[in-house]
Amino acid sequence: MNRWGEKRYHSLDYDLKQIYHEKVYKITLNGGMTCPNRDGTVGTGGCIFCSASGSGDFAGPKTLSISEQIARGKQELNGKRPVHSYIAYFQAFTNTYAPLSRLEQLFTEAVQDEDVKILSVATRPDCLGDDVLELLGRLNRIKPVWIELGLQTIHADTAKFIRRGYELPVFEKAVKDLRALGITVIVHTILFLPGETKEMMMETLDYLNHMDIQGIKLQLLHILKDTDLAEVYEAHPFPVPDMDEYIRFLGTCISHLNPQITIHRLTGDGPGSLLTAPLWTSNKRTVLNTLHRYLKEQDIWQGKEYYG
Ligand code: SF4
């Protein structure tokens, strides 16, 4: 069995401790972007599950500069424990969707902070033009750059239902372009999207197992207040898993996942105040402890059933 410290899966914490010899904390930043899936370029309503803050509910206020947001993030984290290393995480909306000069200014401000070890940028694969790639490649030579792409699913019908707004080949090109620059690619997936069977979710995972990606987020679908998804859910409630079902399915995912791929997330990460369902996910610690117990009981580890 592979071992990644205490865990039975290849966790982000494990990787970071190997490289930086201490825990590295994320500071979630808001660069004041919007999204082509909201401003009419690709769509107007955004992805069906996306909250008003552009899935950046924990990001700092956009009225503050990036340096100010980083200083604030450091202060908050340091109040609880001594911290020396950070990931500057641009989370809200689409973080490569702005004029190049603006992106350069925002990202440079982040990487110039000596305690920031990694620049992490969440974006869409259709917002990585040549000029943006060139900038990211340049920054990656200063400090490691991670790009997080919101794929959610490989299935075209589901992608249409969630209004993702791009086709799979766009994602494939983005991964290829980023990897040609040596940039770390993390893929965001959503489990238990309406209409998806477990077989379909496993197909997404199998597909990603064979892509040149370095990290994955497995996020349980969160139905957040004031989203179009919440309206659909109220009008026609669709099944959402209970914790037991989710844990069992995560066990299957972990067992089939390529052990080279680092797991960045295994639960949801929505704000409790906006969560409509499933409410049990708000207790993240309980979910993770139950998962760890389950993996041990069932003798599951990442890649146990991955055969290349
Ligand atoms: S691409 Fe991201 S920011 Fe844009 S609507 Fe979808 S989830 Fe929200």
Ranges of the chain with pLDDT below 70: 1-2, 54-57, 269
pLDDT tens-digit map of 205-250: 999 999 999 999 999 999 999 999 999 999 999 999 999 999 999 9
Q: How far is the CA of 54 from the centre of ligand 1 (A)?
A: 6
Query: What's the predicted TM-score (pTM) here?
Result: 0.96
Q: Is 150 in the pocket of ligand 1 (CB under 6 A)?
A: yes
Nearest CA to ligand 1 atom 4: 35
Supply the pLDDT for residue 141: 98
Which residue segments constitute the domains of the chain, with CATH numbers given?
A: 12-297 (3.20.20.70)
Distance CA(271)–CA(289), nearest Å, equals 20
Q: Are 116 and 87 in contact (CB under 8 A)?
A: yes
Q: What integer pLDDT is reported at residue 82 of this predicted model?
A: 84
Nearest to 95 by CA among 49, 29, 47, 156: 29
Left, alpha or beta for 223 (phi > 0: left; psi -120 to 50: alpha)?
A: beta
Q: Is the CB of residue 162 below 6 angstroms from any atom belonging to ligand 1?
A: no
